[in-house]
A and B are shown apart, each in its own frame.
Chain A
């Protein structure tokens, strides 16, 4: 291409906040720091907090995402209060598993990315567009993932033109996969997924979907030490968001307390070991 003014203007026009940072402030990107090379092949990975189980499922009017509240560092509980599910914008939510520090920064970057696009272009990005942008960011983090600082998100949103809730999973190379019905990521995901398989059915209502999500997290916490269960002593409940036609909504704590209370009571009554 010729180096005319028009070409320069076109090349510099970007609606992407990440691209803008890449070009002008690369130091601000969460995945652009030069990490010191690990000493030798047998060295331990860095001891940093890890976020664990996220579950997501579709229901009649949209899609739901829930995460437990525990972060672990090796065999130690690093936090009982961590939040791993965030609203990305009005019609989508994002859950993160993996290295907590980088994941939270990536989430913040992703939130600004979507808002920036909306402000520059005057219109919302399509759901597929959002999912692709997130994939590109995860790919940007690949060098750090190779050093053991991986981030694995789960992305869910309401597709306004089609009128359905959709969810997407990712691998560390940024590969994007659309999931049907339900999905889970993180260390407790295999137990949560087993529960989801049994509890999920088409056409759940929002309340039923919340109950299914909390119960699947309960099952994950039962078998995975890195997943935290409902904590009636500290009054800590999972973070649950639903996304429907009217937008993302956080389920209030007193609703979750009731749902978790019902599950604990049912299991106490059943008096079963496993």
Chain B
């Protein structure tokens, strides 16, 4: 019988974390910004059908970076969790906090118990009555969870992107301003000063969806034309 090598728990966890971090750093970034009109979710994503941003429930959206199959299964699990909860209790009993803690538990369980950790980083955003009521949760591959204010940046070069977004953020931003700021962040490490609308995936959580559109569902995905129009708009 072959002898099992002893690996200390510290080393094991460190190796796993390094592995996951490397996987995530290869991917393109996602920016989630809370602004006056709601929450804008912007990702660099050339595919028009494989989404990094998705609707979870009435006021809750999801954004992710990393391996598509892994975060897609987490997104679907989130939709199931939210729908079951909303169906068995009530729609207003579905909260981002509840969802984020379920995600934290599953990511934590996979990180410690499975062969390989998930190479993903998630954001769960819930839009509130005003920017100070917004909830932005950031979840990492090991199940740690952070409650962020104003914005979240994830993925490759996240530090540089966050620096730019931090510099330009203000409370009075509208969607057009937030999306432009996000794009400014996303191109920080690139030579081109701009990304075409087709390379961006943009969705918003409308703060006033009930009054403006008569819909409880605040999530709205923006088409290429709409993105291009918002990007060309002047401040």
Contact = CB atoms under 8 A, between A and B. Distances in A.
Contacts, number: 33
Contacts of A122: 49, 51, 54
Contacts of B87: 17, 21, 28, 108-109, 112
Which A-B residue pairs are the 8 nearest by beta carbons?
Answer: A119-B79, A112-B87, A116-B83, A119-B55, A28-B88, A112-B83, A17-B83, A20-B80
Interface string A108-124: 11001001100110100
- Most chain A beta-carbon contacts within 10 A, residue among B84, B87, B217: B87
Interface in A232-269: none
B84 A21 contact: yes
Given A119-B54, A122-B49, A122-B51, A112 B86 contact: yes
Contacts of A112: 83, 86-87
Nearest to B215: A90
A24 B79 CA distance: 14
Nearest to B50: A122
Interface in A95-136: 108-109, 112, 115-116, 119-120, 122
A243 to B, nearest CB: 15
Contacts of B80: 17, 20, 116
Given A119-B55, A122-B51, A25 B76 contact: no
B84 to A, nearest CB: 6
Contacts of A108: 87
Interface string B26-70: 000000000000000000000001010011100000000000000
Contacts of A115: 83, 217
Contacts of B88: 25, 28
A119 B84 contact: no
18 contacts: A17-B80, A17-B83, A17-B87, A20-B84, A21-B87, A25-B84, A28-B84, A28-B88, A108-B87, A112-B86, A112-B87, A119-B54, A119-B56, A119-B79, A120-B76, A120-B79, A122-B51, A122-B54
Contacts of B79: 116, 119-120
A120 to B, nearest CB: 6
Given A17-B80, A119-B56, 10 more contacts: A20-B80, A20-B84, A21-B84, A21-B87, A109-B87, A112-B83, A115-B83, A115-B217, A116-B83, A119-B79
A104 to B, nearest CB: 13
A139 B87 CA distance: 21
A119 B217 CA distance: 11
Nearest to B69: A9
Contacts of A17: 80, 83, 87
Contacts of A24: 84
B88 to A, nearest CB: 5
A21 B87 CA distance: 10
A112 B83 CA distance: 7
Nearest to A27: B88
Interface in A52-105: none
A91 to B, nearest CB: 13
A198 B51 CA distance: 52
A116 B80 CA distance: 8
Contacts of B217: 115
A122 B54 CA distance: 9
Contacts of B55: 119
A117 to B, nearest CB: 10
A17 B56 CA distance: 14
Interface string A27-41: 010000000000000
B94 to A, nearest CB: 12
A25 B85 CA distance: 11
B83 to A, nearest CB: 5
A24 B86 CA distance: 16
A111 to B, nearest CB: 9
Interface string A1-35: 00000000000000001001100110010000000
Contacts of B76: 120
Interface string B74-106: 001001100110111000000000000000000
Interface string A204-219: 0000000000000000
Contacts of B49: 122
A88 B84 CA distance: 17
Nearest to B219: A119
A119 B62 CA distance: 11
B43 to A, nearest CB: 15
